[in-house]
Structure 1
Amino acid sequence: MTVHTHRAPAPAGPAGQPSFDACVGLGYHCETTYQLRRITGVERAHFFDWLDLDLDAVTEAVDGGFRDVLRTGAVEPFSDGLCALDRGSDIRFFHEFTPSDGEHLTQSDIDAQLPRVQAKFAALARRWHQLAASPAHVLHVHLDAFDEATADDVRRLRAVLAAAHPGHRSTLLWLRRTAPADAEALPPGILPRTVAGAPGRWEGDDHAWDAAFADLRVPRPRPALPEAGDA
């Protein structure tokens, strides 16, 4: 029997609640990418997928139109060669560069592979700009995994998004491990919520993420159904 899966449109929700056409992760790390793909069933890549970066790095990358990310001469081995650090953006790349010895990245590894990685992220930057210029209503999701950001930091990202992409329809979902003390200072368009961590599981707590998204009208995967005529 052949089964076919499809992405369902955002489900109906409470009256007046916006419906989102896409969810775009903004770090902090791989947990966000994994959970958004699990929840929505959409695996289309976005610029910040699978990267390790804090909210300031996201804001600066968007503010600079991604021009300062992965500049030649600015990328070096980091954390004993476990990842590559881009000094221009303070983004850690754990998955884009392959160590020639199978264990630790060297500067030679990075220099040889950098053109390929630059090309990939240039394409993802174009995808970002195309989505921001489209009529789509986007839910941008940042997991503040270590409760580092403040309401001022999140407001700054919101302002940068608005300035960089006038007319872009978006909401910023700010996820923390604990509720922010200054949530009342947040303007419309920023939604603070919490997701508990899952010690020892990099993917995060599925139940906590499901609860955070329970009332959000985002794309959802349709259950797999047999196609007519299949046996």
Structure 2
Amino acid sequence: MHYVSLGHACQVAHQLKRLGLAQETLFYDWLVTHHAKLISTLDFGFADRLFREGYTLPQAGNYLFENSTGLSFYPHDFRGLPEKDTALIESQIEDVRTKYVRRALRTREILNSGSSVCIVRHFFSEPLEKIQKQQEEIVHSLAELYPSTQFTYLWGSEFDASSVNSHFGPIHHLPKAPAWEGDDVAWEKFTGTQPVSV
């Protein structure tokens, strides 16, 4: 079975690799993927345009927005982001683009493989009342885009969602941790549960 992180941040990919559940780096592993941007990029049709429409540097924050997708890229991909060093950022665009196009194609190949794929999505601090709708949109989008693949799901949240009765599977509690890597014990328990087929 392939495990695929759909974010929302890099903690998911870090933990999947730490636990030996993922090997190769996939597209969403080191990005921040807010729900609307995730849904709009799941077909990977943007790959030819990635970084061809430029980027935007917000006034505050150590990241940039890639204009064709609206996804956020961080200093682990771009040196010079904290300093807003545009010359240094520009000098890295083609290398980062090549790396992420390769990851996009690899991820699409897995999602379209017709094999068993476990999707892992951590909603972090997303309000619980929004999560069920987001689960539904992720499940339906993947089923429509990749109908031959057998998807199962593991869902996580920083909030205790034990009172939430979701049709798309339980939302497991992954408490907020002081470090970006997350709580190792909580992740071991989380990934030890049976993924849900919907």
Which range, TM-score by smaller chain? 0.7 to 0.9
Q: Which of 144, 148, 159 is matched with 1:178 structurally?
A: 159
Please give the residue correspondences for 1:214-225 in structure 2 after superposition, counting only pairs within 5 Å. 214-216=192-194
Question: How far apart, CA to CA, are the structure 1 residues paired with 2:2 and 2:194?
Answer: 12
Q: Which runs of 5+ in 2 are unaligned?
A: none
What is the root-mean-square deviation of aligned Cα atoms in Å? 2.5
Higher RCO by CA contacts (8 Å cutoff, separation 6 or greater) = 1
Q: Which residue of 2 aligns with 1:25?
A: 5
Query: Structure 1 regions of 5+ residues with no counterpart?
Result: 1-20, 218-231
1:207 to 181, 185, 189: 185
CA distance in 2, matches of 1:111, 1:87: 14
Note if contact 1:179-1:193 (Cα within 8 Å) is conserved in structure 2.
yes
Provide the aligned length of Structure 1 versus Structure 2: 192
Higher CA-based Rg = 1
CA deviations on 1:150-207 (whole Å, 9 max, x unpaired) are: 21111011111111111111112221112448843424xx4421111112x1111011
Alignment match of 2:150 (pick from 141, 166, 169): 169
**Aligned-partner Cα distance in 1 for 2:152–2:88:** 39
Aligned-pair distance for 1:135? 3.6
What is the 5 A alignment of 1:74-85?
Answer: 74-78=54-58, 80=60, 82-85=62-65
Are the structure 2 counterparts of residues 68 and 91 from structure 1 closer, same or farther at C-alpha, using a change threshold of 3 Å? Answer: farther
Tell me by how many angstroms 1:103 deviates. Answer: 4.4
Which of 104, 112, 118 matches 2:91? Answer: 112
Q: Tell me the secondary structure at the aligned position of residue 78 of structure 1.
A: coil
Give, in angstroms, the shift of residue 22 of structure 1: 1.6
Does the CA-based 8 Å contact 1:68-1:89 persist in structure 2? no
Corresponding residue for residue 12 of structure 1:
none
Alignment TM-score, normalising by the size of structure 2: 0.83
Q: 1:116 to 1:129 in 2, by over 3 A?
A: same
1:25-64 correspondence to structure 2 within 5 Å = 25-40=5-20, 42-63=22-43
Residue in structure 2 matched with residue 10 of structure 1 by the alignment: none
Identity of aligned residues (%): 23
Equivalent in the alignment of 1:139:
118
Structure 1 or 2: more strand by fraction: 1
Q: Which has the higher helix share?
A: 2
Q: Distance in 1 between matches of 2:163 and 2:35?
A: 17
Equivalent residue, structure 2, for 1:195 = 174
**Offset of 1:81 from its aligned partner?**
6.1
Partner of residue 141 from structure 2, selected from 152, 160, 167: 160
Kindly provide the CA deviation profile for residues 122-148 of structure 1, in whole angstroms up to 9, marking residues without a partner as x: 111111122123243111111111124
In 2, Cα distance between the equivalents of 1:78 and 1:111?
16
- The match for 1:91 is 71
Q: TM-score, normalised by structure 1?
A: 0.73
